[in-house]
Each structure stands twice: as C-alpha cells, then as structure tokens.
Structure 1
C-alpha cells in the first residue's frame, strides 16, 4: 500500500521505529487488527520512550441508544464511556442555579397560597391541605412529590374503579371529568396553582424547574426499556410535552417522544424557552385541564 485514506505510507512494520527516530513528527496513530501483538506493543513502547504521542486505535462497538462516547479511566482500567450526551459542567451548574433561585421565589408564593387556599381546600373536603405521592425520579430514584390536594381524600382508592374510563392511550391515567376532583381543586388545576408545593421538591433537588414529568410507581412498573429513557433526566415542574398542548395529547408514546426530544436537545437556553412558554400558558389558562 502506498496510501491509507489519503495519507502516504512511509515505512513498513520492520522500519517504523527507525523512521520515527529520524523523522520530524509529534504523534503516531497505530491502527492494527491484532491489538495484542507483542511485536507491535514492543515498538510502541520504544516510540513512547522517544517522547512521541501515541494514538492507539481500539475496536469500539457502536450502540444506537448512546449518542456519544468517550474514553475514561477508573483506577487502573481504561474504558469507553457511552452516554446520550456529554453536557458541559457549566450548563448543569447554571440549570441548578436557576432551579434554586426559581424554587426560593416559588416557596415565598407557596406560603401566601397556603394561607389563602388551605382553608378553602379543607372547607370543601376534610383532609390534609397537601397531597404527597411517591413518584419515580431520575434513573429510578423514589421521592415524595408534593401538591395542593385537589381531590377528595379517598381519590387514590377510587382510581382503580375509574381505570376503565382512562382517556390516555398508554401508561398514564387521564380523565377530563374526573369525579374525584373537588371544585376548589378544579380551579387550582386550571390555574396550575396545585403545582406550587413542588417548588419544595425543586429546592430539595428531587426535581428541576424543567424536565420530564415523574411517573407514579404503578406506571413505572409497566415501563419498557425505551420508556425509561425519559427518566435519565431529573424530573421537572414543566417540560416539552406540557408546552406542546398537554390537554390535547392522549397518547403516552407521544409524551415519551417529546420527553426524549427534550433530553436529546437539552440546553440551558431550551429550558428558558420552555419556562417562558409555560408562563404564557398559565396566564392564558391553556393546556391545563
């Protein structure tokens, strides 16, 4: 061979060390089929003693589920790390800073809303002001998600009776005229006020301002491997599918598609855009039923 992918062949295996000794070069790329060949490894050892930088090709399989890969070191082991994306640390810190600032502001409003809504919730339906439910967060972590109680106290028990009337295709439950919702609860849901206690979850780090909605335990038990990808990001108060007309989406697979689209294309700027759209929708009372 005289060329390899447009590059000239300047030496054979036997003369490689001698060529590198006398040539003006900084780096050598080694691409051989037998990566454990003692002769090749011996030559590379000699080249490293010359101070030459070596790029040693290793056979690396491709996996469609991982968009990016990088070489990593764990102790004495060198590995290839596969991930959906490698996100700059600075962007992640900005996201967390935005969460903390937003959660602190939200918690101040939460105290005011509790003073106003608390008596109204209890007046219509005896029981606690807040509703806590176990949800599945990032990569399967279980946490308690908080809301203002918008349903009667026995709502969870009655859910099984209403499953036949589920209007969502897939693993989520949705019923537009859910008889478990109180009148105060219907108002809170329409205005998204019932979500305000989740600012406590955001402050604790269970959730983020923007992310994917955390499923219930019974929903999660039915997930396929493809569905679980939507849990590879910290769950959010709002997200891609919420600002895409969530009251009109009745197919769970479409929700998964939008969540995965968000994860694949995430950036700090995208979070800002989703937050702005969410605020507009709340003021227009659009998309929340």
Structure 2
C-alpha cells in the first residue's frame, strides 16, 4: 500500500494543528483507563472481602490509585503513545513497580494478610492491561493498513534526501506517517511522485527570511500534521532554525530526520554543546551482564526443553524412521558467530541423497534474491518432512546446539558455508551475534521474505539486540509457527 496520499484524509484544520495522536480513535484512552481501574479494583476488593480483611474497599482503592498513578507517570494514557506497541513489557514494568510499592506499604502498615493472596489478586491487573494493549495495537495496525489513523507529513529538504525518506515511509505500514507533499530545497525535482507544494531557494541569504513563510503556507494548504525536515548542505544551521521558529509560532510540530536508519530509540540520546543539538548513538550490546544473562537463559531453556519434550522427540523420531529410509537426525555444517563453523542438528525431512540432487533443481530456485536456495514444492522433501517443516518440529534438535553454546534460542538463522562465502561486508554483520533457533525472520514471514527483507531484519536485530526483544520474538514465534506462513 502506498503511503503517498495527497488528499485522502484531511487532518489539520486551517486554523491550527490536530492532536498529536494522529487521528487515533478517541475511545482508546478511556478504554485503557477503565480496564486498568477495573482490573485492579474489582479483583483486589473481591479477594480482600472474601478473606475478611478490614478496610478491604479502602485498601483496594489505594492500590488502584497507585496503579493508575504509575501508569500516568509513564504516559501510558497519552494518545501519542497508546497502541504504538503491544505494551506487554511496559505493563510488566509498571506492575512490578506497583508490587514493590505495595510491599513497602505492607511493611509500614504492619499488614499481616498472606502476601501470596494479595499478589494473586494483583495478577488480573497485569493480564487485562497487557491484553488490552495487545488488542489495541492489533486494531491500530489494521487501521493503518486501511490508511486510517495517520499523520499527514510535509517533507522539506533537497530532492535526493527527501526522496529517500519518502520511499522509506511509503514502504512501511507500522508507523503513522503519510507523506502528502514536499517542499524541495534548490533546483532538484523529487522522483518519488510526491506533490511539490513550494520550493526554497538553493543558495543566498536573501531568500532565507521567507523560508518559514513558504513552508508554513504549504503545510497549511495541505492541512499537514507535522513538517519533516531532511537536513542537508542547503538546509541546516541557522536556516533550519528559522524554519522551525515559523512553524513553532504557528503551533505546528517540526521533526528533523537524523539520517540514521534501523536504530532502536533506546540507543539514542539527545544532548547539547555550544548551542549545537547533538544526537548520541550508543554502540550495540555485545558483552556485559545482559549477554551473560542471555547465555544463561539459553542453556537453562534448552535443558528444560530437552527434558519436557523428550516424549515428543521419540514420536517424531519414530515417524521419520517409518516414513522413509535414512537416519532420524540430519547433520549439516553451518556458520555461527564470528564466522566459526559448527554442526547443526535437525530431524531429517528429505530423502537420503538430497544434497546430490540439488544441482538438478537450481534452475527452479524460488528464493527472492541472494545466495539462498528455496523451493516451495521441493521433490526431495518427504511426506512427514512437509509436516515437520510446516510445524517447525524439525528444528527441535537444535536445542542440543543451544545447550552446547553454538546457537541461541533467538538470533539470525545460521547460514550454510557457501551462502556465508557470498556475503558482502554489510551482510556479514549478521554473523556478529550467535545464530538462533528462531529470530526476526521467523516472526517476519520466513521463506516468504525476500533476501533483502530478511537481511534488513537480521541487521536490525544484530545492532539493536536486547533481552526484551528476545522475549518479544519468543512470544511471537508460537503464533508464526501455528500459522505456518512461509514454512516450506
């Protein structure tokens, strides 16, 4: 879906800007507040009344007030932030703060009721808040795919930079921005197809006092929600500052593109020195306590999975053995972290001489670019192998690799040596982290992704890794596996 929509959704009246939420449904905020209050107040009151605790309603009211105050302090009800993410980690963070606050109040008040009972009474608040956040995020995502709940953007900048920003915004539907016009700086003409709504002179201080008026006139005519400036040699410093003044005096927000791509917001920090606005970029996390914790969780999770899934391993092994001749497990050489090769384990899903038959199928390769080999109807895959691939059960033996430390539960998929040998320096960055059983490729579309799309996801994961991102991918993996999209 193209996000270049010059006249589809008026969103800024001529007399002033619209709210910062970008025309999100007005019921998001009251629903979220209502669920938060009901999810804390009703279960707490019911449990405390059932155990005969004195002042049960007062206690439940105080706890509910603490819950909403914590949520307000973190701006969870601000329309700009509502439904922009699934909100599970935010809800868990706020809930942990609430539990800590109430624990302190228990000690100060000499409360003697069973702590586990009170903790259980608080769980519905977490579940309902997280569930509501996930549902609202899903609803908002669907609305944006239908070109609703968007913020109209006017681009200002030199043609090449403005074209690049317009193309990136038009390619995604996971953000609220739709480009409705562009004010080029200089003589260049944008090639993106976005309507030109004015022009700023390329050189000369005489034109600069009129820059703000020209941009403001274009934004007002388009009823834009914000102006997005793309700095360059002709739009920077004092000139950009004057444009900002004109827009801010009219109550219209100005956003400045940093030129950075695929950088998580938590790695960015804004600073100032000698009047200069500075954007600090933190390096990716490669060592330290967080990575040590990831390794410990990987080993623990793999060991637990091997024990709990032992009966399933036996059933799958029996099915593979009865379906076709050959070993139950398949060993394959893969490339791991820092380019170090290792042996990866899988349940066998192909006939015994599959590798020997591959050259005969190269012309039918359906991979969307890159060195990958993918074939939707690969004749080498056995009957039980198709089922195992669709359900991802063939990947379970990789828990042994995770336990041994050559793989992680979450990370980019490990490439074959011949694939890694063709990597460009940019593509090789995905080898800076440990490969995973699941990762951004699996929750993003699996084999349906093009090579460039898959690499972009892997590089974003590599540079922006965090434990919370791993937890998010693990939670989304179950849904991806159940749907079976892109598994063949």
TM norm structure 2: 0.41
Asked if the contact 1:281/1:287 (under 8 Å) is kept, the reply is no
Asked if the contact 2:439/2:473 (under 8 Å) is kept, the reply is yes
1:191 Cα deviation after fit: 0.8
CA distance in 1, matches of 2:405, 2:474: 18
Instruction: Show the counterpart of 1:112.
Output: 311
1:157 Cα deviation after fit: 1.0
- Count of residue pairs the alignment pairs up: 209
Aligned pairs for 1:195-206 (under 5 A) are: 195-206=395-406
Asked if the contact 2:328/2:347 (under 8 Å) is kept, the reply is yes
Q: Secondary structure at the match of 2:448?
A: coil
Q: Does 1:252 align with 2:422?
A: no
Name the structure where strand makes up a greater proportion of residues. Answer: 1
Instruction: Show the counterpart of 1:128.
Output: 327
Q: Residue 189 of structure 1 is aligned with which of 366, 385, 389?
A: 389
Q: Which residues of structure 1 form unaligned runs of 5+?
A: 1-63, 69-82
Q: Does 1:158 align with 2:339?
A: no
Compared CA separation, residues 191 and 109, structure 1 to 2 (3 A) = farther
Instruction: Show the counterpart of 2:189.
Output: none
Q: Secondary structure at the match of 1:167?
A: coil
Asked if the contact 1:138/1:235 (under 8 Å) is kept, the reply is yes
Q: Which has the higher contact order (CA 8 A, sep 6+)?
A: 1
Q: CA RMSD in A?
A: 2.0
Per-residue CA shift, 1:64-93, capped at 9, x if unaligned?
A: 9xx99xxxxxxxxxxxxxx95244611112
Instruction: Show the counterpart of 1:138.
Output: 337
CA distance in 1, matches of 2:283, 2:453: 20
Please identify, of 104-113 and 225-234, the stretch whose mean Cα deviation from structure 2 is larger. 104-113
Q: Which residues of structure 2 form unaligned runs of 5+?
A: 1-259, 268-281
Structure 1 runs of 4+ aligned residues shifted over 6 Å read none
Q: Does 1:102 align with 2:301?
A: yes
Name the structure where helix makes up a greater proportion of residues. Answer: 2
1:119 Cα deviation after fit: 2.3
1:248 Cα deviation after fit: 2.0
1:108 Cα deviation after fit: 1.9
Aligned pairs for 1:199-214 (under 5 A) are: 199-214=399-414
Instruction: Show the counterpart of 1:241.
Output: 441
Instruction: Show the counterpart of 1:72.
Output: none
